[in-house]
Structure 1
């Protein structure tokens, strides 16, 4: 028996009980029972039925609610584990892979200037790994309820950290309702936008950074990380050391989103679009200006 049926039975049983009692009293017991006695017995009969049938229904309803809460808790725990795994994969695992590649290059370097340059790059990568680990630990120390009140709040915090580290001005505009996004979309979108902000932190030298999100009338959305930094030299997806953007593109393609990394009117734009019938670009670009 589902919860809805249990609730209806809890509502209807007392009503049906008093109706049935009145019918029996008037049809069969009226010659043997006074009106005052019948009225006096009515609430006790309803109470007896409530203590037997309705109380049992309440117990079943409470049990069902507890089971539902346990299921939601397990789902939230699995979602958090998947989000953490994605962050570790995108941040720490990626940096460690890059560290291994640079170590191989250091072993193969023949001259001393090349070795010094690679050694400097290794130190920078180690610092990036340390920063990723520090942020992951800090997020694990936050109470789980913090992310439940506002799913976009971790994105705002990540933007704030990026702005603080780069001494840039930050702007966060997010108009996408949480219910518009599925669990998988939230995880992937958070990972992609976080990686785009890490890219700004490492390469952009920006004075202004924006995280923008808007929904389209057909149920899609458009998100972007924008900055006024130095921009790309050539194709950023082919540049050495830009593993993060390539991973963002792969994630977007797996989700069926459109990915773009380009310069627009003096701004570097990393953009994700869930395709719809009519995607509006102008409001977001105008907001950045």
Structure 2
């Protein structure tokens, strides 16, 4: 039922009810029901009809309004990501590319072996950072969560994309309900998961990745349910601790930690058994 029809029914039902009551009262019940009693029964009847019929319509209206609000939040988040992607591409990415070109020219013009070695090292760092920026721009351009696409389908789409680009086998074991996370939380969690999978592709030399999700507990707080959840990305690669990932000079882990802190979540990187790495995100998502 459309939003317009909901508003019409909410307006029409009380009007039609009081009209029918007055007709029946004057045409049939007038010998049995006095004018005073009829005047008292009229608002009572409208109230009863409102409770029985309009309550469902009001609930449907609130659900429609909430759905529209979620779509607006998701759209606003995606527009912010698009703006950030444009700024990265037009600013940092182009500057890094120009710096790489100048370093190539400098390397050709110098004959000092030490200077050439230093130039080569700087070029390697610039290209690595440039590659990271390009991946982040691509990630930002990717729609994080289409408004009508189920959350679990978005995760499967992310893992399927990884399988196609890297050949790493992925498995999803997801037991977090759709309404546990808000649209913004889903966007941020999916971005963290994407960055973790990128790190697996670049550093882990893994053959398999498992994405797990589950709920820890639920508690009633005021008028909402606050549900704790966890998300794990486990690979069977060479293994790397958070300290080792920071040593590698990549910014992926720092970006994941920054996103998690912004959502007041915890993020931990640990060794898997017998080998590999586990990235664990724990936090709270509010479902109304």
TM-score range, shorter chain: 0.5 to 0.7
Structure 2 distance, partners of 1:243, 1:127, is: 11
Q: Secondary structure at the match of 1:202?
A: helix
Residues 73 and 14 of structure 1, relative CA distance in 2, 3 Å threshold: same
Match of 1:20 in 2: 22
1:178 aligns with 2:178: yes
TM-score by length of 1: 0.63
Q: Is the contact between residue 242 and residue 270 of structure 2 (CA under 8 Å) also seen in structure 1?
A: no
CA contact (8 A) 2:93 2:134 kept: no
Show the counterpart of 2:235.
227
CA RMSD of aligned residues (A): 4.4
Confirm or deny: 8 A CA contact 1:95 1:128 kept in the other structure.
Answer: no
Structure 2 unaligned spans of 5+: 32-57, 107-112, 219-226
Give distance in 2, aligned partners of 1:261 and 1:224: 10
Cα distance change, pair 71–153 in 1 and its aligned pair in 2 (3 A): closer
Instruction: Tell me how far 1:181 sits from its aligned partner.
Output: 0.4
Query: Of 75, 78, 101, which residue of structure 1 is paired with 2:76?
Result: 78
Residues 171, 211 of structure 1: 8 Å contact kept? yes
Contact kept in structure 2, 1:237 and 1:246, CA below 8 Å: no
1:130, distance to aligned residue in structure 2 (A): 4.7
In structure 2, relative to structure 1, the CA distance for the partners of 1:238 and 1:163 (3 Å cut) is: same
SS in 1 for 2:230: strand
> Could you state the TM-score of these two structures normalised by the residue count of structure 2?
0.63
Which structure has the greater CA radius of gyration?
1
Residues 22 and 123 of structure 1: is their aligned pair in 2 closer, same or farther, counting only changes over 3 Å? closer
**Which structure is higher in strand share?**
2
Aligned to 1:213: 213
Q: Indicate how the Cα distance of structure 1 residues 231 and 257 shifts in structure 2: closer, same or farther if over 3 A, else same.
A: same
CA drift of 1:71 comes to 6.0
Distance 2:277 2:165 in 1: 18
Change (3 A) 1:178 1:275: closer
Distance 1:98 1:166, change over 3 A: farther
Q: Which moved more, 1:207-216 or 1:225-234?
A: 225-234
Stretches of structure 1 that go unaligned for 5 or more consecutive residues are: 30-60, 277-289
What SS does the aligned partner of 2:171 have? strand
Q: Is the 8 A contact 1:166 1:206 kept in 2?
A: no
Q: Is 1:154 the equivalent of 2:154?
A: yes
Residue aligning to 1:113: 117
The whole-number CA distance in structure 1 between the counterparts of 2:70 and 2:215 is 27
Q: What count of residue pairs does the alignment treat as equivalent?
A: 234
